[in-house]
Amino acid sequence: MTNRNYAGLIAYLVLIIIAVALLLYAKQADAVDKPGHEVYVVQAGDTLWGIASNRYPGAHTGEMVHRIREINGTDGKLRSTVIHAGEELLLPVEVEGK
């Protein structure tokens, strides 16, 4: 490879890194714009039911699963109850009726 090819490759990689950083920043900013919610990173073995029952022990687990799905957009990124390790979910900070 010539120096010109290396420079082009480096410029391309820098643009990709900048794009990824901007996407991550926008995602975090979106979470901050939703007061009353906190970001939770899904761990291996997590389920929505397990997260809801552990985080909100005094609340009805099914209702909390429903709320988590609503907050995260049942027609958007959280189309089902299947979640994957590394995903970021918004969780309600306060539980109504508790």
pLDDT in tens, 12-26: 999 999 988 877 776
Cα–Cα dist 10/51, whole Å? 42
Structure tokens at 87: 């995903």
Neighbours of 86 (CB within 10 A): 9
pLDDT in tens, 26-76: 666 555 556 788 999 999 999 999 999 999 999 999 999 989 998 887 655
